[in-house]
Amino acid sequence: MRLSIIILCWNDRKVIADCLESIFAHTHSTELEVIVSDNGSTDGSIEFIRASYPQVQVIENGRNLRFARANNVGIRASRGEYILILNPDTLIHEGTLDTMVKLADQHPGIGAVGCKVLGADGSYQVSAFPFDSLRSDWIIALHLEFLNGIGKWFQGGAYAGWKGETQRQVDWISGCCMMIRGNVLRDASGFDEQFFYYFEDQDLCRRIWAAGYPILYVPDATITHLGGQSTKSRFPPLGFVLDGQVTRYLYYYKYYGRRGVRRARRVALTSALLRRVGYGLKQLVHPTEAGRKRLELLRGVFEWNYLVDPVRLVENGEEPHLKTEPAGRVVER
Per-residue model confidence (pLDDT) at position 21: 98
Per-residue model confidence (pLDDT) at position 230: 38
Distance CA 270, CA 291 (A): 20
CATH number of 3-126+164-225: 3.90.550.10
Amino acid, single-letter form, for residue 266: R
Q: Is the pLDDT of residue 217 over 80?
A: yes
From residue 254, give the alpha-carbon distance in Å to each of 171, 172, 263, 320: 17, 17, 14, 21
Q: Lowest mean pLDDT: which of 8-17, 173-182, 314-323?
A: 314-323
Per-residue model confidence (pLDDT) at position 155: 76
Per-residue model confidence (pLDDT) at position 148: 73
The torsion of the CA quartet 140, 143, 149, 154, rounded to 10 degrees, works out to -50
Write down the pTM of the prediction: 0.93
Distance CA 115, CA 253 (A): 30
Per-residue model confidence (pLDDT) at position 156: 79
Q: Is the pLDDT of residue 274 over 90?
A: yes
Question: Do 304 and 271 touch, CB atoms closer than 8 A?
Answer: no
Q: How confident is the model at residue 232 (pLDDT cuts 50, 70, 90)?
A: very low
Per-residue model confidence (pLDDT) at position 151: 66
For 21, half-sphere exposure in the C-beta direction (CA atoms, 13 angstrom radius) is: 9
What DSSP assignment string belongs to 18-39?
HHHHHHHHH--S--EEEEEEES
Average pLDDT over every residue of 223-252: 82
End-to-end Cα distance, the chain: 36
Q: Is the pLDDT of residue 306 over 50?
A: yes
Average pLDDT over every residue of 142-155: 74
Distance CA 312, CA 66 (A): 24
Question: Do 243 and 329 touch, CB atoms closer than 8 A?
Answer: yes
**Higher confidence at residue 161 or residue 241?**
241
Average pLDDT over every residue of 154-165: 86
User: Looking at the DSSP assignment, which residues form a beta bridge with residue 172?
Assistant: 129
Q: How confident is the model at residue 149 (pLDDT cuts 50, 70, 90)?
A: low
Closest-CA residue to 235 (of 191, 288, 186):
288
Give me the residue spans of the domains in the chain.
3-126+164-225, 238-316
For 104, phi then psi, to 5°, come to -65, -35
Per-residue model confidence (pLDDT) at position 234: 63
**Higher confidence at residue 35 or residue 147?**
35
Q: How confident is the model at residue 153 (pLDDT cuts 50, 70, 90)?
A: low
Q: Is the pLDDT of residue 154 over 80?
A: no
